[in-house]
Structure 1
Amino acid sequence: MYRILLTGTALGVALTGTIALASPGHDSSIGQPGDATMVDRTITIEMDEMTFSPEVIEVQPGETIRFEVVNVGRAVHEFNIGTNETWNSHRDEMTSMMREGMMTTRQLNHDRMMEAGMMHDDANSTLLEPGETGDVIWTFPDGGEIGFACNVPGHREAGMLGDFRLGHGS
Structure 2
Amino acid sequence: MNTKIALSLTALALAASTSLAFAHGDEEHAQPRKYDPTKVEPTDFGQEGNPKKVARTIKVDMADNMRFTPSDVTVKRGETVKFVVHNDGKVLHEMVLGTKKAIAEHAELMKKFPEMEHADANMAHVKPGKAGEIVWQFTKAGEFQFACLQPGHFEAGMVGKVTVK
TM-score, scaled to structure 1: 0.69
* 1:46 alignment partner, one of 50, 61, 81: 61
Higher strand proportion, which one? 2
How does 1:130-141 map onto structure 2 within 5 Å? 130-141=128-139
Alignment-derived partner of residue 37 in structure 1:
52
Q: CA deviation at 1:126?
A: 0.7
Over 3 Å counting, the alpha-carbon distance change for 1:120 and 1:63 in structure 2 is: same
**RMSD of aligned alpha carbons:** 2.8
The runs of 5 or more residues in structure 2 that have no matched partner are 1-15, 22-30
How does 1:1-170 map onto structure 2 within 5 Å? 18=33, 20=35, 28-49=43-64, 50-91=66-107, 93-95=109-111, 98=114, 102=115, 119-167=117-165
Over 3 Å counting, the alpha-carbon distance change for 1:38 and 1:75 in structure 2 is: same
Instruction: Provide Cα deviations, 1:81-126, integer angstroms capped at 9, x if missing partner.
Output: 112321233235534553xxx5xxxxxxxxxxxxxxx542110001
Q: What's the % identity of the aligned pairs? A: 37
Q: CA deviation at 1:145?
A: 2.1
In 2, the alpha carbon distance for the partners of 1:45 and 1:163 equals 12
In 2, the alpha carbon distance for the partners of 1:141 and 1:161 equals 21
In 1, the alpha carbon distance for the partners of 2:58 and 2:120 equals 19
In 2, the alpha carbon distance for the partners of 1:28 and 1:67 equals 18
